[in-house]
């Protein structure tokens, strides 16, 4: 029977999942989002990839699993405790650079850098610094966000933030957008 179950996990995923639970990390990307990221990044040979919000590295593992040997991934998070899990388990991959800093400030300061795929899984690049994130997207590049459908950990009133974000993305003349009511709610935008 055809379904969206994910059975093949990327290298390091199980160890990251165990470490995430041990430090009570409560914001992991789900398996369907990870599998989609792997497939999308696989369509971008020699890609420069940006992940905003490393967390403990679950989505990072999926991105690395889909990338070719000539691609590079920059993953940014401002929480060293979480990002250290990704560093300990995935840090030996030469395609990965981990940066512990304020992603919003980094986006604002590095507008000359263009990325073939951006996975924005944190407040910066999604609900803040959106123009800077979209300005960093190469032509033909993919901007991917998740958690667009109601989540149990959303603070009160967050649905308004999602509504405003989606409206802003839909108003961008240089983006092709698809909204998917699947997984946690995925939005993919391609830059024209």
Token pair listed for 96: 């990965």
Q: Structural domains in the chain?
A: 13-191 (3.40.50.150)
Q: How far apart are alpha carbons 177 and 161 in whole angstroms?
A: 18
Residue 47: per-residue pLDDT: 98
Q: How far apart are alpha carbons 158 and 103 in whole angstroms?
A: 20
Residue 133: per-residue pLDDT: 98
Q: How far apart are alpha carbons 69 and 26 in whole angstroms?
A: 31
Alpha carbon separation from 47 to 16, 66, 88, 104, 116 (Å, rounded): 24, 11, 24, 22, 6
Residue 192: per-residue pLDDT: 96
1 pLDDT band, cuts 50/70/90, is: confident
Name the average pLDDT for the chain. 95
pLDDT digits (tens, 9 = 90+) for 15-43: 999 999 898 887 777 899 999 999 999 99
Sign of CA dihedral 10, 12, 17, 18: positive
Asked if 19 and 82 count as a contact pair (C-beta separation under 8 A), the reply is no
Sign of CA dihedral 81, 135, 173, 33: negative
């Amino acid at each position: 029977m055809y379904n969206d179950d994910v059975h093949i996990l990327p290298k390091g995923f199980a160890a990251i999942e165990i470490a995430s639970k041990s430090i009570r990390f409560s914001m992991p990307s789900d398996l369907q989002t990870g599998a989609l990221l792997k497939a999308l990044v696989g369509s971008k040979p020699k890609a420069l990839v940006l992940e905003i919000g490393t967390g403990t590295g679950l989505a990072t593992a999926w991105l690395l699993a889909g990338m070719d040997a000539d691609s590079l991934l920059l993953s940014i998070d401002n929480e060293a405790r979480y990002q250290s899990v990704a560093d300990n388990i995935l840090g030996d991959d030469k395609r990965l650079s981990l940066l512990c800093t304020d992603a919003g400030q980094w986006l604002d300061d590095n507008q000359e850098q263009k990325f073939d795929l951006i996975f924005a899984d944190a407040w910066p690049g999604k609900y803040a610094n959106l123009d800077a994130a979209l300005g960093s997207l190469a032509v033909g590049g993919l901007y991917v966000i998740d958690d667009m459908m109601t989540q149990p950990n959303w603070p009160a009133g967050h649905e308004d933030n999602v509504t405003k974000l989606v409206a802003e993305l839909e108003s961008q003349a240089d983006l092709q957008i698809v909204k998917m009511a699947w997984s946690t709610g995925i939005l993919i935008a391609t830059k024209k």
